[in-house]
Structure 1
Amino acid sequence: MLSAVSGSALAQAVGSTAPSTLPLLVGQGAGSASYSVPIQTLLFFTALSFLPAVLLLMTGFTRIVIVLGLLRQALGTQAAPPNQVVIGLSLFLTFFVMGPTLDKVYAEAYQPFSENKIAFDEALKRGEVPMRAFMLKQTRQSDVALFAKLAKLDASVKSSEVPFKVLVPAFVTSELKSAFQIGFLIFIPFLIIDMIVASVLMSLGMMMLSPVLVALPFKLMLFVLADGWNLLLGSLAASFVQ
């Protein structure tokens, strides 16, 4: 009897309890909606997953990391500096180069959005302006024309008006070209050292001695005496048009 009464009471309690749902919106301001904390967290981590692609494709990271990788190959050092150092240095140099652009994005887009003065869509539009200006300054007109042609855009469309789907691949292509041009200039002096060392070893009959191993100290000495890090990093930073 008691079990039947308790069972019926439990059934009534369960039936009277409405299923709880997660609210998407917790309030609405002037022309904008405020999302609940779980939804904001979900959106944040979703946006965070796209950060590597943004870093690679819309900043100077591509040019910098390729040049540093080519420098390591030109020196002939297998793992010095290691990949962690190369990527870390590339990241910090990217933030240094992108500093003025990121400051504009923060002041014109993120700060008003964080203060609920503008909507998310408006923040994206404002943040796009300085990023577009930076990429256009680094992108060759021939690359923009190529991808505009592939996208079948009208010929009257100006470079400053092309959509991001055209600008981003054109920018990446230009960055790859610039990186390989700088890498070619880096390789020339070290290649000359390799040729001289190989010729000397060949003339001395030292066929079993590795020219790469013998040339490495001379390459390092040349790089240090020429203050190579200052020249390379300074030239890399100055190669970006602001």
Structure 2
Amino acid sequence: MTMRTEARAGTTRRAGSVPGRLAVLLAAVLPVLAAAAPAPSGLPIVVGQGSGGSSYSVPVQTLLILTTLSFLPAMLMMMTGFTRIVIVLSLLRQALGTQSSPPNQVIVGLSMFLTLFVMGPTLDRVYAEAYKPYAATEITFEEAAARAEVPVRQFMLKQTRQSDMALFMRLGRIDAAVKAEQVPLRVLVPAFVTSELKSAFQIGFLIFIPFLVIDMVVASVLMSLGMMMLSPVLVALPFKLMLFVLADGWNLLLGSLAASFAT
């Protein structure tokens, strides 16, 4: 009897203490707060609906901008001279016989800067005719995009072969009487890329010839000396490097690449 009385007294003291009172208060208040809290709303897609028009919310605008930026690498490769330049530099590395020199980062970086050099006049026209008026709020975005398309289209048309253009116009079921300036981009871009691939492999063929001659001479000399176990590629590498350096190969190659885009 005495033990039950002491246990009840201990329970009463714990319940009457400050922590116990707080626990009881929280247990009573939390359900009320949970019931009174508003339901979480979804992500706003469109804001400003009404007679004044509507616009996308900031999160949706950010998503659209990031999605658009993901297409920039494809635009850089397919609508500029980047394709021709990077392929020629890669073929040069194979012709020299070096496995990873120059490395891929150097080849891509040099190709990008040489592309900016080649596309300089076109980009200047895009900036002057499209971006500056748009930044000054003189024209709309749609008009700025249409103005920016004109210099890029002219650049691609100058580098596109007529046979490639005729091929994709036939595949796209476009009348042959349509002028090249009026051809849609879905036809112009693949025709331009095809012409760039042809030009790149033609330049690569001319690059391979002198280095191939060196490989054949070295292989013939090693075979005549009976050095069958010695790799001709390893022996020919210093001779090819010496020939490339003495002929000022980088100057000739990069200058010829830049000049190949001149019309």
Distance 2:105 2:45 in 1: 43
Matches within 5 A, 1:1-242: 7=32, 11=36, 14=38, 22=44, 24=46, 37-241=58-262
Instruction: Give the alignment's TM-score, normalised by structure 1.
Output: 0.87
**8 A Cα contact 1:97 1:240, kept in partner:** yes
Of structures 1 and 2, the one with the larger relative CO (CA 8 A, separation 6+) is 1
Supply the distance in 1 between the matched residues of 2:162 and 2:33 (Cα, whole angstroms): 77
**Percentage identity across paired residues of the two chains:** 73
Tell me, in whole angstroms, the C-alpha distance in 2 between the residues paired with 1:43 and 1:212.
51
Output the amino acid matched with 2:124. D
What per-residue deviation string (whole Å, max 9, x for no partner) do you get for residues 111-132 of structure 1? Answer: 2223332222212111110100
Change (3 A) 1:165 1:77: same
- CA–CA distance in 2 between the matches of 1:165 and 1:178? 21
Tell me, yes or no, if the aligned pair for 1:143 and 1:174 is still in contact at 8 Å. yes
RMSD over aligned CA atoms reads 2.5
Which amino acid letter does the alignment assign opposite residue 22 of structure 1?
P
Q: How many residues of Structure 1 are paired with residues of Structure 2 in the alignment?
A: 233
Amino acid at match of 1:83: N
Distance 2:212 2:47 in 1: 63
Report the CA distance shift for 1:171/1:47 in structure 2 as closer, same or farther (over 3 A).
same
Structure 1 residue 24, shift from structure 2 partner: 4.1
Residues 159-188 of structure 1, C-alpha deviations (whole Å, 9 max, x = no match): 121100000000000000000000000001
Larger Rg: 2
Amino acid at match of 1:149: R
Provide the TM-score with structure 2 as the length reference: 0.81
What is the alpha-carbon distance in structure 2 between the residues aligned to residue 173 and residue 54 of structure 1?
A: 15
